[in-house]
């Protein structure tokens, strides 16, 4: 594919050392699950208030390079009518957009799913670009179960969808984040997680190269490699760091612009500790940082609890959590 230099400018901004990406891109139903944690109803006003706290918090641009939004939030505004993407752009934070439309059953493959959302993607990107978006995210879901799951067939079809999305994004001057999330929930060992994640990333990058995606204009969003959440032996930060980096060295071409992590349902503290252990392993062929959702938003939600008088405190918590993750990305905690 023809090289598009706009992509490299965005990549460089997103991967500035010591910064990471906030994934505030929950669909409306998933945003409802977050609000329910602090007993708030899933009303548009509550979703807007929470996002306004996140996006207007002072100084977050020191630690956050980008924010991923969802279709309804990229169209949303602050109380004074400023569009959310404009608020972010004014701070020097790159606005991003989740463009996949969720998963549906992969017939013939019990329990496996394929992500939807390629229809009209060129037109959707054009509109999002006009709104200020310069990068995007597409999430595929890979579940570890019994011996045969995930199947290579499920990984391959999801990789083809990711490759097609990435092609269209790059043609639209939008940096694609490709996210094959290997699900943390389950009773698998860290060894099994490592094998599955390595296989997934190998098939993904093989496919991205087959479809001529420009890897220098693309960011990988990965799970950390760790034992399933109900497995008897939980992985230490050092084990997670070793297994995760071994996986990347076995599967991610050096041309790939960078790697960011999802938190995957780990506690905020554990996500940060594991990131710090990875940062402590020293320089890697790719910039590596965070792109957490729950691990950043949960402490902010708990500080806010839906109360006007707590908004200032909630913004301070966001700044502090972002700072801790920034330090962790550098291995400096």
Between 286 and 292, CB nearer to ligand 13P: 292
295 lies in the binding site for ligand 13P (CB under 6 A): yes
What is the pattern of x (binds ligand 13P, CB under 6 A) and - over residues 13-32?
Answer: ----------x---------
Q: Does 242 bind ligand 13P (CB under 6 A)?
A: no
Q: Is 47 one of the binding residues for ligand 13P (CB under 6 A)?
A: no
CB of 298 to ligand 13P, least distance (A): 9
Candidate list 66, 85, 264, 279; residue touching ligand 13P; CB under 6 A:
264
Structure tokens, 278? 């990875």
- Which candidate in 179, 194, 239, 297 is catalytic? 179
Q: How far is the CB of 263 from ligand 13P (least distance, A)?
A: 3
168 or 295, CB closer to ligand 13P?
295
CA distances from 121 to 49, 69, 130, 138, 165 (A): 29, 16, 14, 12, 8
Q: How many CB atoms lie within 10 A of CB 163?
A: 23
Closest CB to ligand 13P among residues 134, 294: 294
Segment (H or E) for 300:
helix 294-304
Task: Identify whether 221 is a catalytic site residue.
Answer: yes
Q: Which of 139, 188, 270, 273 binds ligand 13P (CB under 6 A)?
A: 139
- When the beta carbons of 91 and 294 are compared against ligand 13P, the nearer one is 294
Whether residue 173 contacts residue 135, with contact meaning beta carbons closer than 8 Å, is answered with no
Chain-centroid distance of CA 31 in Å reads 15
CB-based burial, 71-109: b 16+ in 10 Å, e otherwise = bebbebebeeeebbbebbbebebbbbbbbbeebeebeeb
273/169 Cα distance (integer angstroms):
33
- Torsions phi, psi for 285 (to 5 deg): -65, -15
Q: What are phi and psi of 133, to 5 degrees?
A: -70, 135
For ligand 13P, the binding residues in 159-198 under the rule CB under 6 A are 179, 181
CA nearest to 70, candidates 113, 105, 102: 102
Of 51, 134, 294, 315, the residue at the interface with ligand 13P (CB under 6 A) is 294
Q: Which of 113, 174, 208, 262 binds ligand 13P (CB under 6 A)?
A: 262
- Count of other CB atoms within 10 angstroms of residue 66: 26
> Considering 19, 91, 98, 221, which one is annotated as catalytic?
221
Q: 75: helix, coil or strand?
A: coil
Q: Which of 167, 293, 326, 329 binds ligand 13P (CB under 6 A)?
A: 293
DSSP β-bridge partners for residue 98: 137
Is 179 catalytic? The answer is: yes
Stretch that binds ligand 13P, among 30-38, 113-121, 126-134, 286-294 (CB under 6 A): 286-294
Catalytic residue annotation: 179, 221
Binding site for ligand 13P (CB under 6 A): 23, 139, 179, 181, 262-264, 292-295
């Amino acid at each position: 594919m023809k090289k598009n230099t706009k992509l490299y400018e965005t990549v460089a901004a997103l991967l500035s050392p010591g910064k990471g990406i906030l994934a505030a891109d929950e669909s409306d139903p998933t945003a409802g699950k977050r609000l329910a944690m602090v007993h708030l109803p899933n009303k548009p006003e509550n979703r807007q208030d929470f996002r306004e706290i996140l996006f207007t918090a002072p100084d977050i641009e020191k630690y956050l390079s980008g924010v991923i939004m969802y279709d309804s939030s990229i169209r949303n505004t602050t109380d004074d009518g400023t569009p959310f993407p404009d608020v972010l752009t004014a701070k020097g934070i790159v606005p991003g957009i989740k463009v996949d439309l969720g998963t549906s059953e992969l017939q013939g493959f019990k329990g496996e799913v394929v992500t939807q959302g390629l229809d009209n993607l060129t037109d959707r990107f054009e509109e999002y670009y006009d709104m200020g978006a310069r990068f995007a995210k597409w999430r595929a879901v890979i579940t570890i179960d019994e011996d045969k799951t995930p199947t290579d067939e499920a990984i391959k079809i999801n990789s083809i969808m990711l490759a097609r999305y990435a092609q269209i994004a790059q043609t639209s001057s939008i940096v694609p984040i490709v996210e094959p999330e290997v699900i943390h929930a389950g009773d698998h060992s860290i060894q099994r997680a490592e094998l599955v994640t390595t296989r997934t990333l190998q098939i993904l990058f093989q496919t991205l190269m087959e479809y001529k995606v420009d890897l220098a204009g693309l960011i990988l969003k990965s799970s950390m490699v760790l034992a399933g959440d109900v497995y008897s032996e939980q992985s230490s930060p050092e084990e997670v760091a070793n297994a995760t980096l071994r996986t990347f060295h076995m599967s991610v071409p050096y041309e790939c612009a960078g790697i960011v992590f999802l938190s995957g349902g780990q506690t905020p503290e554990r996500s940060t500790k594991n990131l710090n252990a990875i940062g402590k392993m020293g320089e890697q062929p790719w910039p590596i940082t965070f792109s957490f959702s729950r691990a950043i938003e949960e402490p902010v939600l708990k500080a806010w609890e839906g109360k006007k008088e707590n908004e200032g405190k909630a913004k301070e918590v966001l700044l502090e959590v972002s700072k801790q993750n920034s330090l962790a990305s550098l291995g400096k905690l």
